[in-house]
Amino acid sequence: MSATAQSSLPASLYIVATPIGNLDDMTPRAINTLKAVDIIACEDTRTSGKLLNHFNIDSKTWAYHEHNSEIQTPKIIEMIQQGHPVALISDAGTPLISDPGFQLVQAAHNAGVKVVPIAGVSAVITALSVAGLPSDKFSFLGFLPAKTHGRQKQLQTYKERSETLIFYEAPHRILACLEDMAVVFGNERPITYCRELTKTFETVVKTTVGDLLAFVKNDNNQQKGEIVLVVGGDTHQEQSDDLTAHDDLLLRLLQDLSVKKAAALASDITGVKKNALYQRLLQLQQAD
């Protein structure tokens, strides 16, 4: 369909999610939308061309990426204002998630152009759903800095975060990234390694940072493909914040035991770290 043809879709900006690997994850709504729009803005027209050909989608494509977004954004907004529906897709997954598109969506809102989500796959949510780590609160942090110094510095800012943390990582940096996580987070921090999700060589491994580093180091195949790291939050801070919930138990144990023994027994009973309970016991003693 040419950009001058009249589409049956309202003239809006459609943010269309595409598969991250398995083409069966392409939704009927996404296919119908891409067939109906006048223009599909693609991160890479060659990459998207394979997907579009597979589903017999012949809508006109425009390249839209970080290097041409300043030029293309006003052109796309103008096309929509002239009555042409436009779709935005990335190479894979949901657009704007570590992919281009924010500038275009922001411009559409500023211009009063309707933005319509065509929901589908996102590697972030796909990884979280199988990670076996708390999902009630999480942060997606994208790609870490490429250099060790910058990566460790940024990881330090996340070290005491209590929510689950989700990162993307490039295959050629995965070993260095895990080494830095071991330094900053410690070898025992829980982590789930998600590689090539929905694809033939899909790998999901729930383990610890130290064991994952050894696993990836010993298997060159694990150093290839698309990688999502889901890292457990720092539970020590949560335990410290909630120590008052165990005050009745601690006070009772103090009647018969020393602070040290009371802390050890309370740790066995509650699962809270002994050192944290020891400090709380000292506070309770001082309060008396």
Residue scoring higher pLDDT (36 or 4) = 36
Query: How confident is the model over 252-287, as pLDDT tens digits?
Result: 898 889 989 988 998 888 778 788 888 888 888 877
* Token pair of 232 as six digits: 């457990």
Beta bridge partners of 195: 203, 227
Query: How confident is the model over 157-205, as pLDDT tens digits?
Result: 999 899 999 999 999 999 999 999 999 999 999 999 999 999 999 999 9
CB 165 within 8 A of CB 189: no
Beta bridge partners of 140: 166
Query: How confident is the model over 232-246, as pLDDT tens digits?
Result: 999 865 555 566 778
In the chain, the DSSP E strands lie at: 13-16, 39-42, 60-63, 86-89, 115-118, 138-143, 164-169, 190-195, 203-208, 227-231
Name the pTM for this structure: 0.79
Residue scoring higher pLDDT (259 or 8) = 259
With 80 as the cut, is the pLDDT of residue 39 above it? Answer: yes
Give residue 2's pLDDT: 40
